[in-house]
Amino acid sequence: MVSSGDHGVILFSLGTYAGSMPASLAELFAGVFSQLPQKVLWKLNGEIPPNLGANTRMMKWIPQNDILGHEKTKLFITHCGSNGMYEAVYHAVPMVFLPLAGDQPDNAVRGVARGLGVRLDIKDLTEKELLQSIKTVLYNDSFKANAVRASRIMLDQPQQPMERAVWWIEYVIRHGGLSHLRSKGGDMPLYQYLLLDVIGMMFVSCMTGVVVLMWACRFCFRSVSSKASKAKRE
């Protein structure tokens, strides 16, 4: 981290569950990173790409929060997991978003809307597009400024988290427990907790409606058929 100089460090991680990637995609990232003056810390539990640059270090595990909190960290390339984005915002680090699944695309949309970074589609990613996006976030001061602003909003609290945790621990000790704050959900029968009674009532209501509708349709059909038969006989 310290030896990165004024250029700083880029952190790249696609989260815990995306520990590896196709060889072609890994070579694409490695080729782009080798063109950068920054040093790159890359979390990847897979084979080392043959074109990995001297400025890139691959690790199976990284202390992500500590790296994001280091003054040399300039950019976070992330899959947009909630925890990682919270950590990046906390430490005022701008991002390049590569959402994969789940809530990640929505997180990326919110990040882009707040000017915290740019979004890319990892399925159609090209070397030129990735390189340009990295340079845009690194050298456009607005992204860093927006990250700093978001960090200030997050940090502006009446208490620091450690102080709040200490207060609650002492609160429990002073009052001999938190029985008055215990959720009543713990005392509910399982069928109520899972809303099985509500689901059952909705099912019965729907089935009743279907039966009534079928009976009405049958009654109308019989009435029309009866009138038609009578008219034909006459």
Are 44 and 145 contained in the same domain?
Answer: yes
- Note the pLDDT of residue 231: 65
Are 107 and 53 contained in the same domain?
Answer: yes
Burial 72-82 (b: 16+ CB within 10 A, else e): bbbbbbbbbbe
- Note the pLDDT of residue 191: 86
- Note the pLDDT of residue 161: 87
Provide, for the chain, the percentages of residues in helix, strand and coil under a 3-state DSSP scheme, each rounded to the nearest 5. 55, 10, 30
- Note the pLDDT of residue 227: 67
- Note the pLDDT of residue 109: 94
- The answer to the question of residue 161 being in a domain is no
Are 151 and 221 contained in the same domain?
Answer: no
Token reading at 20: 């590896």
Measure Cα distances from 93 to 46, 85, 89 in Å.
26, 9, 6
- The answer to the question of residue 226 being in a domain is yes
What's the CA gap between 39 and 134, in Å, rounded? 13
Residue 93's domain comprises 2-155
- The answer to the question of residue 185 being in a domain is no
Please list the ranges in the chain whose pLDDT falls under 70: 17-19, 227-234
Are 139 and 226 contained in the same domain?
Answer: no
Are 139 and 215 contained in the same domain?
Answer: no
Are 37 and 110 contained in the same domain?
Answer: yes
- Note the pLDDT of residue 228: 65
Q: What amino acid is encoded at 9 in this protein?
A: V
Are 26 and 71 contained in the same domain?
Answer: yes
What's the CA gap between 18 and 13, in Å, rounded? 9
Are 99 and 149 contained in the same domain?
Answer: yes
- The answer to the question of residue 175 being in a domain is no
Are 204 and 94 contained in the same domain?
Answer: no
- Note the pLDDT of residue 91: 95
Q: What is the CATH number of the domain that holds 87?
A: 3.40.50.2000
- The answer to the question of residue 84 being in a domain is yes
Domain count, the chain: 2
- Sign of torsion, CA 12 17 20 25? negative
Per the confidence metrics, is the pTM higher than 0.85? no
